[in-house]
C-alpha cells in the first residue's frame, strides 16, 4: 500500500510539474527534478559571504560594543540591483514561505559542516508584531528558522520573544532612524528559561544590525545567556 501511495504521489507530482512548472526565484527558469527554490546555476553563483569561516568577520563587527556575541554570520550578500533580491522579495511579500524554509535548509547544511551550530541550544526567530503577522500570514524569519531546525535538529522557540510595537518599515530610514525605530520594542516571556542557554537569533535581512541588537537587548538580564546571530542576507 505504501509503495502504491508513493507511486501515485510521484505521478501526481510529475503531472503538476508538467502543467504548473516551478520556477527559480532568481532567474525565472523552470526548475528541474531535485531542484528547490533555486536552479543549480543560481545556487552555485549565489554571492555567499563565507563569514562563518572567519572570526571577527564583517557581520560580527557590526555588533561590537553593542551586545556580547559568540558568533555571527549572514549567508549571502544582498544589493538592490542583484537578481538575488528576488529571494527576499518572494519570501516577504509574495507569500513564498516555502522559499524561506528551503533557504534555511541550504544555509544550515553549509554552516553545519563548519561547526557553526555547535553548542547552540535553541533557535529564536526575530518576531513580527502580531498585526503585521496577521496581515502577512506568517513570519519570514520563522520560516527560515524551521528550515534550519530541519537540518540541525535544534528546537525553534517562536513564542518567548514578543514584539511590543508595530514599527514602521526600516527600508528608507537612515542608520540613526533605524536604531530609534526599534528601541525597546521586544520583550522576553519567562526569561529565566534562557538562563545559561546559548541561543541563535535568526532574521531575514541584516542592514545596520538595529533590529537584531534590539532583540538581543531583551535578554540582557538573563544570567549566563550566550547569543549568536544568523541572517539569510546582509546588505553590501
Rounded Cα–Cα distance for residues 148 and 228 (Å): 14
74 forms beta bridges with: 231
CB 63 within 8 A of CB 213: yes
Q: How many residues does the chain have?
A: 236
Predicted confidence (pLDDT) at residue 223 exceeds the cutoff of 50: yes
Per-residue confidence at 165, pLDDT binned at 50, 70, 90?
A: confident
More confident residue, 21 or 65: 65
Predicted confidence (pLDDT) at residue 61 exceeds the cutoff of 70: yes
Predicted confidence (pLDDT) at residue 227 exceeds the cutoff of 50: yes
Cα distances (Å, whole numbers) of residue 36 to 32, 108, 207: 8, 15, 27
Q: What is the pLDDT of residue 21?
A: 76
Q: For residue 177, which of 188, 187, 186, 167 has the smallest C-alpha distance?
A: 167
Over residues 49-66, the mean pLDDT reads 96
Predicted confidence (pLDDT) at residue 171 exceeds the cutoff of 90: no
- Calculate ∠ Cα 163-225-54, nearest 5°: 95
Count each helix (H run) and each strand (E run) in the chain, helices first. Answer: 9, 6
More confident residue, 8 or 200: 200
CB 234 within 8 A of CB 50: no
Predicted confidence (pLDDT) at residue 168 exceeds the cutoff of 90: no
How much is the pTM?
0.86
Over residues 124-143, the mean pLDDT reads 94
More confident residue, 78 or 175: 78
Mean of all residue pLDDT scores within the chain? 89
Listed in sequence order, the DSSP H helices in 21-156 are 40-45, 58-62, 85-93, 97-113, 130-136, 140-152
CB 232 within 8 A of CB 204: yes
In the chain, pLDDT over 70 holds for what percent of residues? 84
Predicted confidence (pLDDT) at residue 184 exceeds the cutoff of 80: no
Q: For residue 107, which of 142, 143, 71, 76 has the smallest C-alpha distance?
A: 76
Segment 5-42, tens digit of pLDDT: 555 444 444 434 444 579 999 999 999 999 999 999 99
More confident residue, 24 or 1: 24
Rounded Cα–Cα distance for residues 136 and 169 (Å): 14
Amino acid at each position: 500500500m505504501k509503495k502504491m501511495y508513493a507511486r501515485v504521489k510521484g505521478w501526481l507530482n510529475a503531472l503538476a510539474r508538467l502543467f504548473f512548472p516551478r520556477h527559480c526565484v532568481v532567474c525565472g527558469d523552470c526548475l528541474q527534478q531535485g531542484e528547490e527554490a533555486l536552479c543549480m546555476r543560481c545556487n552555485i553563483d549565489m554571492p555567499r559571504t563565507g563569514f562563518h569561516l572567519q572570526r571577527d568577520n564583517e557581520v560580527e563587527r557590526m555588533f561590537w560594543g553593542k551586545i556580547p556575541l559568540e558568533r555571527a554570520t549572514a549567508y549571502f550578500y544582498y544589493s538592490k540591483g542583484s537578481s538575488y533580491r528576488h529571494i527576499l522579495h518572494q519570501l516577504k511579500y509574495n507569500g513564498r514561505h516555502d522559499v524561506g524554509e528551503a533557504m534555511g535548509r541550504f544555509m544550515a547544511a553549509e554552516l553545519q559542516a563548519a561547526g557553526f551550530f555547535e553548542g547552540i541550544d535553541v533557535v529564536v526567530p526575530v518576531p513580527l508584531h502580531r498585526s503585521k503577522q496577521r496581515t502577512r500570514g506568517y513570519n519570514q524569519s520563522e520560516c527560515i528558522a524551521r528550515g534550519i531546525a530541519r537540518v540541525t535538529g535544534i528546537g525553534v522557540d517562536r513564542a518567548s520573544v514578543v514584539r511590543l510595537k508595530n514599527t514602521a518599515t526600516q527600508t528608507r530610514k537612515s542608520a540613526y532612524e533605524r536604531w530609534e525605530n526599534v528601541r525597546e520594542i521586544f520583550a522576553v516571556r519567562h526569561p529565566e528559561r534562557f538562563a545559561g542557554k546559548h541561543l541563535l537569533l535568526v532574521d531575514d535581512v541584516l542592514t545596520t544590525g538595529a533590529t537584531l541588537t534590539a532583540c538581543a537587548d531583551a535578554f540582557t538580564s538573563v544570567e549566563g545567556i550566550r547569543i549568536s546571530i544568523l541572517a539569510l542576507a546582509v546588505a553590501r
